[in-house]
Structure 1
Amino acid sequence: MSSVSQPLGRLWGVHDWLEHLEGATLQLEGNLPIKGDLHLDSRKVEQGDAFLAMKGHDEDGHHYIDQAIKAGCMLILAESALNEAQIQLASDSQRTVIIDPLLREHHGALAQGFYGFPAQECTLIGVTGTNGKTTVATLLCDWYQALEIPASMIGTTGIRVWPEATATSTGLTTADAITLAKTMRAMVDTGTTHIVMEVSSHALDQARVGGLEFDGAIFTNLSQDHLDYHASMEAYARTKAKLFRGLAPEAAAVINRGDKFAPIMTEGCSATIIDLEMDVSVFVTEVASDYTGIKIEGLGQHWDLKTPLIGEYNAMNVAQAFVMANALGAGGADDVAAGADSRIIQVDWTRVLASSHGAPGRLEKITPPALQADEKGLSPTVFVDYAHTPDALRTVLQTLQHWAEQKPGEKGKLWVIFGAGGDRDVLKRPKMGAIAEEWADVVILTNDNPRSESPKAIAHAILSGFGSPEAAETNVRVILDRREAIQTAIMEARPSDVILVAGKGHETTMDIEGIRHPFSDIDEVHRAYQNRHHEVTHAH
């Protein structure tokens, strides 16, 4: 395994910095080169580092320049000129100060250059959309690794570095530009040839992915989310579309043509566009209750596939990942017959697809180890899913209704346990209530990262979406303690029932009043299963 190389930017003089920041000016010349790393957070600055001061959504980095200088930074990069007191402080310490009004726009490419342009040394695939990003990215990474292609992943579930099969949590879908460049450098230096990354709308809007040249990009879908940040759905869509407008002609863009925002994604996109649309390019059949059969027509070929992921929406996820793998595996989307990588083209896709069960916490069926030998059918079936938007909640509930109908034996009730995040889009809360009322038989409203908001107020907002007061009184309970809510459902449900625990998926913390408390839906389901198993077996 290779060692991680030292940042190229530690060799730069003042003219090198100015060359990487077109239009920047030197306000104060001091000692260079720097001896450390780049930082956006003054609290992380150490002796010899560089500090980038930019105005953000919530904070203004210019307010922390003094703190960064006192911490020992050698170089200040700022959007606005330093005031007289700051310049005096910098001068006394022989610091260098460079001003770039477009630092936000330039800082992504700067970070890539500082770490030696790692993204240019690998095949880079970006996945964007409201729902499905994590599953598509995970599938691609899983498949590449199954083919012994050194692949790593950056996304909602964290950072996954080849040859690891699981990710380490970071708390962000797309990290800041400096962390991205540093992470990519480490990945490439340890053997990675392919990087699959989720690209959030926040990252695109804040230029965190600036300087990245994607070889392929996938658009999954767009539905209501993040309207606390974006002014409208169209603004949200146009932010997502920046990923596709930045693609080179030799890149590949796989687009869910069935989504109404697809035309915005393809507008101004010069890459080779590969359209997929349910019932046009992707045909779905249920092979068995635990398998989905998919027929894909694309790239001039036809495939019949099976995947352990259930549901039509997962069929589209699988299809998009599959078509992208084939497009790039063939040496470029514009010439799929030339230069084919035999590991992609001459592959037993039945074996490879069966090797991946998708992303953790994405319609994940939970079966605790202690119960795997239990053949008496004494427990309900529980799924954990990240669904935290109206469209995602509807899709997962519809999928589980269909799955329950196909499941052998008596058809039970469908339970859903969910809430809504605090300090986020409030308009989606009543919509999620209405969806739960329509598709679930039993509803338990609970906490889901309430942050600074009142959990009771969030639950009340969800309840306002129920159209039938009678149904709300008989089929809905509010149990704000999420642990108790999960425990209650699993203890009370019949063996034929299906329970969906929605909203948090893979997450391992609960954000309450700014404090992250340890909490995992998966762990809580395991605990509740054990309690039920203990109670049922002792009753017999």
Structure 2
Amino acid sequence: MRQLHDLIKEIKQPELIEAMDNPIIEGLVDHSRKVKKGDLFIAVQGYEADGHQFIQDAIDRGAVAVIGEKNLTGFDVPYIKVDNSRHILGELAKVFYDYPFEDKLVIGVTGTNGKTTTSHMLHHLLVESSFQVGLIGTVKCVINGQTFTQKQTTPSVLDLYQHVYDSQDDIMVIEVSSHALDQNRLAGVTFDYAIFTNLSYEHLDYHSDMWAYFEAKRQLFLQLKPYGQALINIDDDWGKQLYEWLESHQYHVKRIGQTSDADVRLMDMGCNEGCNMTLKIQGDSFSIHSPQLGLYNLYNLALAFSVAYDLVEHPQLLVKKVKTFSGVPGRFDLLEMNNGVQVVVDYAHTPDAIKEVLKTVDIITSEKITHILSFKANRDEGKRDAMVKHSSEHSDHIILTQGDLDGFDSLEMEKELKDLRQQWYSNDIDVNVDRINAIYECIEQAKAGDCVVITGQGHKVYEDDNKWGTTTDRETVQYVNQLLATELSKE
């Protein structure tokens, strides 16, 4: 609890403090339906709704004060006008939750692909090294050793501060999306480490162009503490640009890559029943074997290993801990079917991710590769052509299907997929909008040694029900395997 005057000192408009009541604030809320008695309601101009329209509803539910950015009067509680409600959320939360980040080491991970895997790898290495570590990300969150899930990669700024306030963890690893950075969901948070994995075509239904997308990602590094460390994959073109900008502005930067001038150098990279590399850091050399397939995962590992190297007392022990990392749900999830078919479930939903996953599949099979390539409805249609291009280069047969529709018309989505197939007119590309049937048919028709690759959904739970009651691609694949086992037993 805080008094209103103590909270709004951060706004630096003391004349407002003198002219208003000073109620006790029980909580901070930016959605009127969540308001309880004693809360301060912050009215935010949202992307789908304007919180100012719900001020009276918030007051009726018990709000004792309101902050907004419009010139409004006539309320029965103090109304405080600010220039930007969204910007002030972090400052208010920081005070209300008693500066919860100040006694923690905070690590942010951003990039188009690899954020989740890098975050989970780093969390694993540090937990196995006896640190108490919190994790906030796409697949799961872990606070005080307890796991839960959330809808957004990076939660709202109020939820984020609540999580950290509740945490007794010494270290926080936060997966940071471009949307979160652009929407100030990390306002007031400063980082000890900031990691950049890569940048490629994605989210241009939100960002105006690639430069705007890049600038959103760069914001994370502007929130480094004065002694904070940036770790950048300089083998990525955008990573190289970021490094040069940070270096010119005198940030502390470590370059991760294969080049001889890299501060952390990846050497002797190869994949066979997992992946191997030699990693050189500050004169130390580590021969590393990872059970995770994919050369791209070695970059994720190098970034995670580099941070852990700084923090642990005996870095050589990290080599053994890498071997016990079990991976991330929905990231190159390899399943063996009863009919001898291999199935890979992966969240890949960008052109570069599609290419890397299929290149890795080439390592595990020399037989036919069937790719079930799904697209979310009404989302960033500009990347679809490149995704089909990479799929056609690395797979033998492509099934175009749909992911979550988000309320979009199924018939319209089917038309879009058929139009896409027509552009690529090929006997090796088909359309099947029924994702469940597409998975069943591809696995059932495949032969022993073949591989069916299912991308786009990964760990995410289906929005719509289906005839089998499965909720994820992995569950669907496992159900198909049971059906095939029953059919085989009848023969």
TM-score by length of 1: 0.84
Residue in 2 aligned with 1:140?
122
- Residues 270 and 76 of structure 1: is their aligned pair in 2 closer, same or farther, counting only changes over 3 Å? farther
* Residue aligned with 2:463, SS: strand
Q: Distance in 2 between matches of 1:498 and 1:24?
A: 66
One-letter amino acid of the counterpart of residue 177, structure 1: V
- Greater shift, 126-135 or 395-404, is seen at 395-404
Q: Distance in 2 between matches of 1:304 and 1:349?
A: 11
1:443-491 deviation per Cα after TM superposition (whole angstroms, max 9, x unaligned) = 11222112132344445545555688552xx322222121111111111
Residue in 1 aligned with 2:165?
185
Q: Is 1:361 aligned to residue 330 of structure 2? A: yes
One-letter amino acid of the counterpart of residue 365, structure 1: L
Residue in 2 aligned with 1:76?
66
Q: Distance in 2 between matches of 1:412 and 1:325?
A: 39
Identity between Structure 1 and Structure 2 (%):
30
CA contact (8 A) 1:155 1:173 kept: yes
CA contact (8 A) 2:371 2:391 kept: yes
2:201 to 219, 224, 235: 224
CA contact (8 A) 1:379 1:494 kept: yes
Residue in 1 aligned with 2:284?
301
* Residue aligned with 2:230, SS: strand
1:169 to 132, 149, 170: 149
Residue in 2 aligned with 1:108?
90
1:80-109 deviation per Cα after TM superposition (whole angstroms, max 9, x unaligned) = 232x4xx2xx32xxx222211133222113
One-letter amino acid of the counterpart of residue 80, structure 1: K
Q: Is 1:96 aligned to residue 86 of structure 2? A: no
1:325-379 deviation per Cα after TM superposition (whole angstroms, max 9, x unaligned) = 113x0xxxxxxxxxxx42xx25522320011122111111135xxx7xxxxx732
Q: Distance in 2 between matches of 1:186 and 1:133?
A: 24
Residue in 1 aligned with 2:479?
527
CA contact (8 A) 2:331 2:347 kept: yes
2:445 to 445, 469, 492: 492
Q: Which runs of 5+ in 2 are unaligned?
A: none
User: How far does residue 140 in structure 1 lie from its aligned partner after superposition?
Assistant: 0.7
* Residue aligned with 1:249, SS: strand
- Greater shift, 147-156 or 272-281, is seen at 272-281
Residue in 1 aligned with 2:131?
149
Residue in 1 aligned with 2:488?
536
CA contact (8 A) 2:369 2:396 kept: yes
1:4-27 deviation per Cα after TM superposition (whole angstroms, max 9, x unaligned) = xxxxxx13242x122122347639
1:364-420 deviation per Cα after TM superposition (whole angstroms, max 9, x unaligned) = 1135xxx7xxxxx7321111111111111111111111332xxxxxx3111111211
* Residue aligned with 2:174, SS: strand
User: How far does residue 248 in structure 1 lie from its aligned partner after superposition?
Assistant: 2.4
Q: Distance in 1 between matches of 2:323 and 2:144?
A: 20
Q: Is 1:311 aligned to residue 294 of structure 2? A: yes
User: How far does residue 315 in structure 1 lie from its aligned partner after superposition?
Assistant: 0.6
- Residues 69 and 363 of structure 1: is their aligned pair in 2 closer, same or farther, counting only changes over 3 Å? same
One-letter amino acid of the counterpart of residue 319, structure 1: A
CA contact (8 A) 1:46 1:73 kept: yes
User: How far does residue 494 in structure 1 lie from its aligned partner after superposition?
Assistant: 0.8
- Greater shift, 266-275 or 313-322, is seen at 266-275
One-letter amino acid of the counterpart of residue 529, structure 1: N
One-letter amino acid of the counterpart of residue 253, structure 2: I
User: How far does residue 240 in structure 1 lie from its aligned partner after superposition?
Assistant: 0.4
2:389 to 422, 434, 459: 434
Q: How does 1:501-520 map to 2 (within 5 A)?
A: 501-510=454-463, 519-520=471-472
1:235-255 deviation per Cα after TM superposition (whole angstroms, max 9, x unaligned) = 100110011122123111110
User: How far does residue 224 in structure 1 lie from its aligned partner after superposition?
Assistant: 0.9
Q: Distance in 2 between matches of 1:71 and 1:440?
A: 56
1:246 to 186, 204, 223: 223
User: How far does residue 260 in structure 1 lie from its aligned partner after superposition?
Assistant: 1.4
One-letter amino acid of the counterpart of residue 94, structure 2: Q
- Residues 278 and 462 of structure 1: is their aligned pair in 2 closer, same or farther, counting only changes over 3 Å? farther
